[in-house]
Structure 1
Amino acid sequence: MQRRHMLAGAAFGLTAGGLLRAAHAQPRNASWPRALNMGTAAPGGTYALYGPAWGQLVQEATGVNISYRTTQGPNQNIILVQRREVEIGMTTMGVALQAWNGQGAWTQGNKFNDIRALFPMYDTPFHGISLKRSGITQMSQLAGKNIGVGPRGGTPGTYFPLIMDALGYRPAAVRYGSGSDMSGQLQDGLLDAFLFASGVPIPAFSEAETQSEVNFLDYTAEEVAKLTRAFPELSAGTLPASTYRSAGRELRVVGMFNFAIGHKSLPEDLVYEMVKAVLGQNERLKQAIAAGSETLASNASKNSFLPYHPGAARYLREAGQTIPDNLVLA
């Protein structure tokens, strides 16, 4: 609980003063909108903290007020940006690939081609927790068990049922809800395991390990090989033993990178200043949230398919990144 509050407090500390100033601020450029809406995610995940952290940097740099909409996560953020119900949001690249190609049941065959990449955020490792008293120490033991996977419209809610199917581990039930709700159900014995994917340390996992003794669930080398073959958008990785207070060992995971996205209609010069504000102030972002340590221009290479907004591409090129012309679309 303490670590979660520290993370939340840091993000709030970055935002509070700026929000008061922005109430009376004018955009630096009269042609820019006075305000933008950002799609974030449900409480208990990293987006809920990371969004306000980078939003405040943008707000201070541009004078454009940023407001935040709680969503189910990446899938819903893409839908909302496509419809311009929010102008900016965050997503994982696997979900973005499904959206761009109109694949995946949640797209209903629709292609979401009005979204544009803004900047790289951080990697999302897929892992889980169980209560130590359950005796569950590995993914293969989840066959026939009740698992929680976060919001239905989020990356873990989309991918974990596919991951379990690819591994051949059929759970008895898959339940959906916010990270904090899943953690509560785990503590109450309604779930045998809570599987999630978010920037680390996952706030809900950090909270859970302060309340009970937990096991951290990762993958065998064979499971990682099987998953990266089945889902090319996933990559193999490890989490240091120090990621969580009680992990006690390095965790073997698969991961997927996150990107900020925006609607294609955003003014080019505004997007340039937005991306510059975030990538040019990495130290401030890291102070607000640990996941910001990966928010670097050099991670632009993690995106090989989603077109960059021209304003974003201009800043990334100035920062020394190679952005091919076919990956920039107005």
Structure 2
Amino acid sequence: MAASTLLKTLTGVILAGSLFATTHANAETRVTYKSAKSTSSYYQMAVQIAEAMKAGSNGDIILTVEESQGSVQNVMEAAVRPGNYVFTTPPALVRLAAAGKAMFKDKQNPKFSDIRALFPIPSLTMHFVVRDDSGITKFSDLEGKNILIGKGSFGAREGAKYLKLFGLEGKVNLANVELSNAVPALKNKQIDGFVTAGSYPAPNVIEAAAGTGVKVLSLSEDQIKQTKRTRLVIPAGTYAGIETDTVTTSLPVVAYTTTNMSDETAYELTKTYWEQKEKMGADHAWWKGVNTDMLSNISGKIHPGALKYYAEKGVTVPETAK
């Protein structure tokens, strides 16, 4: 082969290789996913979503999960983070940020109005768990009983709030036991029940139901109104031995991004999430509680790319979110 011919051949191979590498690099979409503390269930969910995105997109979507100190930090960073920034937060915080109220009162930023929703993730669900043999069937029966509500967590704050709302403040013996010890304490009859907030089915409630007969208390419609939280129904059979629906409250959580994200990327993220949700649910039960009806919990606008996916699937979204 002549030197000139060999040079042309080598040049062609190099250019072809460069073109392939460039095409592959362009096809790969990198996304930062700001979640929660690394010890929380929501961080575990973020890792699961990252794995699902990679698998569902054949490696074209790569999520890098970042630890967070909480939802307020996630929302604050939405005003300054460039590119494909996704974060999780209760919708109420997005509403407060846009209005410059509460914890955002002195931190207003016009870019908060650029926040856009993608899809719901498992809600924080209140569980009032009691032993079957405790004689407790409704909230008024908690009077004089030993109940563990923990401390410092969302569930502990909500538990204390509900006891006050329902006229039980000071009438319940609050157990001085760590929430992590709730199941053995229930089994050993040190406590009559415990309060926990987690994405259902909650692992500690599954454990309690499997090892000790339990009930999960339902709230009346009036009690739900008093809490000002979102109504949620835990289906019958979710926990061993509980064969009726449990009506309780929840704090919805949604994955958001900003208008910095392209419509194409938002579409692919949303599409891949819903296509992979059933598979995620087979491995991790908390995904089974997520459905498109939860889009009604969204505050603010849904990203146009996500809206395109929902329109294709005939999913109803709130008019206010369009």
Matched, 1:225 2:222: yes
Amino acid at match of 1:284: K
Deviation of 1:301 (Å)? 4.1
Q: Which residue in 2 is equivalent to 1:126? A: 126
Q: Which residue in 1 is equivalent to 2:233? A: 237
Q: CA offsets per residue over residues 38-62 of structure 1, 9 Å max, x none?
A: 30456464x3443222222223316
TM score, norm. by length of structure 2: 0.68
Distance in 2 between residues matched to 1:247 and 1:32, nearest whole Å: 46
Aligned residues: 291
Residue of 183, 192, 201 corresponding to 2:180? 183
SS of 2:214's equivalent?
strand
Distance 1:63 1:96, change over 3 A: same
SS of 1:30's equivalent?
helix
Distance in 2 between residues matched to 1:65 and 1:169, nearest whole Å: 49
Q: Is the 2:148–2:195 Cα contact (8 Å) retained in structure 1?
A: yes
User: 5+ residue gaps in structure 2?
Assistant: 1-20
User: 5+ residue gaps in structure 1?
Assistant: 1-24
Distance in 1 between residues matched to 2:232 and 2:318, nearest whole Å: 26
> What is the 5 A alignment of 1:105-254?
107=104, 110=107, 113-130=113-130, 138-140=138-140, 147-148=148-149, 152=153, 154=154, 156=155, 159-170=158-169, 182-184=179-181, 187=184, 193-210=193-210, 213=212, 215-221=214-220, 224-228=221-225, 230-231=227-228, 233-235=229-231, 237-240=233-236, 242-247=237-242, 249-254=244-249
Deviation of 1:118 (Å)? 0.7
Q: Which residue in 2 is equivalent to 1:37? A: 33
Q: CA offsets per residue over residues 171-192 of structure 1, 9 Å max, x none?
A: 67989x9xxx623256458977
Distance in 2 between residues matched to 1:123 and 1:50, nearest whole Å: 12
Amino acid at match of 2:222: A
Q: Which residue in 2 is equivalent to 1:268? A: 263
TM score, norm. by length of structure 1: 0.67
Q: CA offsets per residue over residues 235-287 of structure 1, 9 Å max, x none?
A: 253531x1112445542323444322224433332221111111133432322
Larger Cα-atom Rg: 2
RMSD value over aligned CA atoms?
4.3
Deviation of 1:124 (Å)? 4.6
Q: Is the 2:91–2:299 Cα contact (8 Å) retained in structure 1?
A: no
Q: Is the 1:125–1:197 Cα contact (8 Å) retained in structure 2?
A: yes
Q: Is the 2:116–2:300 Cα contact (8 Å) retained in structure 1?
A: yes
Amino acid at match of 1:307: K
